[in-house]
Protein backbone atom coordinates (compact mmCIF):
# COMPACT_ATOMS: atom_id res chain seq x y z
CA UNK A 1 0.00 0.00 0.00
CA UNK A 2 1.26 3.41 -0.94
CA UNK A 3 1.07 6.86 0.50
CA UNK A 4 -1.52 9.12 -1.11
CA UNK A 5 -1.96 12.84 -1.78
CA UNK A 6 -5.30 14.38 -0.91
CA UNK A 7 -7.22 17.50 -1.93
CA UNK A 8 -5.02 19.83 0.16
CA UNK A 9 -2.45 19.71 -2.65
CA UNK A 10 -4.80 21.22 -5.21
CA UNK A 11 -3.31 24.53 -6.37
CA UNK A 12 -0.55 24.18 -3.74
CA UNK A 13 1.94 22.07 -5.72
CA UNK A 14 4.64 22.90 -3.19
CA UNK A 15 6.98 20.19 -4.39
CA UNK A 16 9.02 19.62 -1.22
CA UNK A 17 7.78 16.01 -1.32
CA UNK A 18 9.23 15.52 -4.78
CA UNK A 19 12.67 16.59 -3.58
CA UNK A 20 12.85 13.89 -0.91
CA UNK A 21 11.19 10.92 -2.61
CA UNK A 22 13.96 8.34 -3.17
CA UNK A 23 12.15 6.67 -6.05
CA UNK A 24 10.77 9.81 -7.73
CA UNK A 25 7.22 8.47 -7.69
CA UNK A 26 5.36 11.78 -7.11
CA UNK A 27 3.99 13.05 -10.43
CA UNK A 28 2.64 16.49 -11.27
CA UNK A 29 -0.76 16.89 -12.88
CA UNK A 30 -2.23 20.26 -13.73
CA UNK A 31 -3.18 21.54 -10.27
CA UNK A 32 -2.19 18.63 -8.00
CA UNK A 33 0.46 15.98 -7.49
CA UNK A 34 -0.20 12.22 -7.39
CA UNK A 35 1.75 9.31 -5.89
CA UNK A 36 2.15 6.24 -8.08
CA UNK A 37 0.97 3.36 -5.87
CA UNK A 38 3.03 0.81 -7.78
CA UNK A 39 6.27 2.78 -7.47
CA UNK A 40 5.96 4.10 -3.89
CA UNK A 41 8.07 2.12 -1.42
CA UNK A 42 6.26 3.43 1.67
CA UNK A 43 9.37 5.03 3.10
CA UNK A 44 7.48 7.95 4.65
CA UNK A 45 10.06 10.57 3.69
CA UNK A 46 7.50 12.79 1.98
CA UNK A 47 5.04 12.92 4.87
CA UNK A 48 6.72 15.56 7.09
CA UNK A 49 7.78 17.69 4.12
CA UNK A 50 4.31 18.77 2.97
CA UNK A 51 3.43 22.25 4.27
CA UNK A 52 -0.31 21.67 3.93
CA UNK A 53 -0.57 18.09 5.26
CA UNK A 54 -1.72 16.77 1.91
CA UNK A 55 0.00 13.39 2.25
CA UNK A 56 -1.62 10.48 4.05
CA UNK A 57 -0.10 7.15 5.00
CA UNK A 58 -2.32 4.25 4.17
CA UNK A 59 -1.89 2.91 7.69
CA UNK A 60 -3.55 6.04 9.02
CA UNK A 61 -6.70 5.31 7.06
CA UNK A 62 -6.65 7.89 4.25
CA UNK A 63 -9.88 8.74 2.50
CA UNK A 64 -10.53 5.88 0.04
CA UNK A 65 -11.58 8.51 -2.49
CA UNK A 66 -8.00 9.76 -2.65
CA UNK A 67 -6.49 6.27 -2.58
CA UNK A 68 -8.53 5.50 -5.67
CA UNK A 69 -7.85 8.84 -7.32
CA UNK A 70 -4.06 8.64 -6.92
CA UNK A 71 -4.22 5.19 -8.54
CA UNK A 72 -6.57 6.38 -11.27
CA UNK A 73 -4.03 9.00 -12.35
CA UNK A 74 -1.83 6.12 -13.53
CA UNK A 75 -4.23 3.34 -14.40
CA UNK A 76 -6.83 5.14 -16.50
CA UNK A 77 -6.44 7.23 -19.63
CA UNK A 78 -6.52 10.83 -18.45
CA UNK A 79 -8.58 13.42 -20.36
CA UNK A 80 -6.91 14.12 -23.69
CA UNK A 81 -4.65 11.05 -23.50
CA UNK A 82 -5.03 7.80 -25.41
CA UNK A 83 -3.49 5.47 -22.84
CA UNK A 84 -2.87 5.26 -19.10
CA UNK A 85 0.40 6.66 -17.79
CA UNK A 86 1.22 3.36 -16.08
CA UNK A 87 4.49 3.21 -14.17
CA UNK A 88 7.00 5.38 -16.05
CA UNK A 89 9.74 4.83 -13.47
CA UNK A 90 10.12 8.39 -12.28
CA UNK A 91 8.59 11.83 -12.54
CA UNK A 92 11.84 13.42 -13.65
CA UNK A 93 11.59 11.58 -16.93
CA UNK A 94 7.99 12.48 -17.64
CA UNK A 95 8.04 16.08 -16.54
CA UNK A 96 4.73 17.70 -15.79
CA UNK A 97 1.84 15.61 -17.05
CA UNK A 98 -0.30 18.74 -17.32
CA UNK A 99 -3.70 17.17 -16.73
CA UNK A 100 -5.65 16.14 -13.64
CA UNK A 101 -7.99 13.25 -12.97
CA UNK A 102 -11.68 13.89 -13.67
CA UNK A 103 -12.28 14.08 -9.90
CA UNK A 104 -9.73 16.84 -9.39
CA UNK A 105 -10.86 18.64 -12.54
CA UNK A 106 -14.43 18.64 -11.24
CA UNK A 107 -13.18 19.74 -7.82
CA UNK A 108 -11.70 22.79 -9.48
CA UNK A 109 -15.03 23.64 -11.10
CA UNK A 110 -16.82 23.85 -7.75
Query: Within positions 23 to 42, which residues make up the interface with ligand F3S, using CB under 6 A?
Result: 23, 25-26, 35, 40-42
Of 15-23, 58-66, 77-85, 93-101: span binding ligand F3S (CB under 6 A) = 15-23
Q: Does the footprint of ligand F3S cover residue 18 (CB under 6 A)?
A: no
| Buried/exposed code over 79-97 (b: 16+ C-beta within 10 A; e: otherwise) | eeeeeebeebeebeeeeeb
In angstroms, give the least distance from the CB of 77 to ligand F3S.
23
Closer by beta carbon to ligand F3S, 44 or else 102: 44
Question: Is 35:67 a contact under the CB 8 Å cutoff?
Answer: no
Extended beta strands in the chain, E state:
4-5, 26-28, 33-35, 55-56
Residues that bind ligand F3S (CB under 6 A): 3, 20-23, 25-26, 35, 40-46
Amino acid sequence: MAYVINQECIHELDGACVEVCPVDCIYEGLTKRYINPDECIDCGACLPECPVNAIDATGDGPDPVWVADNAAFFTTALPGRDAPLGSPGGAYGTGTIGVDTPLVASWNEE
